[in-house]
Amino acid sequence: MNKLEVKTNKKLILKQVLIKELRDIPIEQLDSETKNFHSLINLLNVQTFGPLITKNYGTNIHDDGSITTSYDLMVQAHDYKMYKKQFKVVSQLQCEHCAYIRFQGESDNMQYAYTKLNLFFFENDLADTGVVYNVFLSNHSENMVLDIFKPVEML
């Protein structure tokens, strides 16, 4: 098992980004929405570079007990501007002043990376912006490699 090490003052830069915005969707639909996103990318024969990136805005628990989440699903793509009818397109997305951790291992243990990152914020009296970026370098359940970027709120 690899040691989880938090690094600070990291910058995430994405170029030529296609974004599918998911707002207030039931949490149980997230997997199917992600599969639909991958299917559309493949159907359109989008020439991507780099891995899948997600931006998690958090979850909401409603009065009726239902849980919703807001996510952005993102890929970097050549000729990204030609897909602006299907996706939101951004020439560059930059996120500075992030705490960063790399998780490598079984996907069942992924929550430890998030816990360590949250503990780091707590112990260092840092405020976050409320979002988390996940860069899925390898998405196999038995050997996942995930870079997690959590922006620090700059006062």
Categorize the per-residue pLDDT at 155 as very low, low, confident or very high, splitting at 50, 70 and 90. Answer: low
Note the pLDDT of residue 137: 95
Whole-number Å distance between alpha carbons of 126 and 97:
11
Residue 8 has pLDDT above 80, yes or no: yes
CA pair distance 27, 34, nearest whole angstrom: 12
Stretch (H or E) spanning 36: helix 30-43
In a domain, 1, yes or no: no
Residue 2 lies in a domain: no
Q: With respect to residue 59, please indicate whether it lies within any of the assigned structural domains.
A: yes
In sequence order, the 6+-apart residues with CB closer than 8 A to the CB of 114 are 132, 148
122 lies in some domain:
yes
pLDDT attached to residue 140: 81
Q: Label residue 154 by pLDDT band (50, 70, 90).
A: confident
Q: Is the pLDDT of residue 1 over 60?
A: no
Domain count, the chain: 1
The answer to whether residue 78 is domain-embedded is: yes
The CA-to-CA distance between both ends of the chain, in Å, stands at 36
pLDDT digits (tens, 9 = 90+) for 25-52: 999 999 999 999 999 999 999 999 999 9
Please determine, for residue 54, whether its predicted confidence score (pLDDT) is greater than 60.
Answer: yes
| Percentage with pLDDT > 70 across the chain | 99
CATH number of 76's domain? 3.20.80.10
Strand partners of residue 143 = 140
Collapsed DSSP state (helix, strand, coil) of residue 78 = coil
Residue 82 lies in a domain: yes
Domain that holds residue 33: 7-151
Per-residue pLDDT tens digits for 98-128: 999 999 999 999 999 999 999 999 999 999 9
Identify the band that residue 139 occupies on the pLDDT scale cut at 50, 70 and 90: confident
Asked if pLDDT for residue 146 goes beyond 90, the answer is: yes
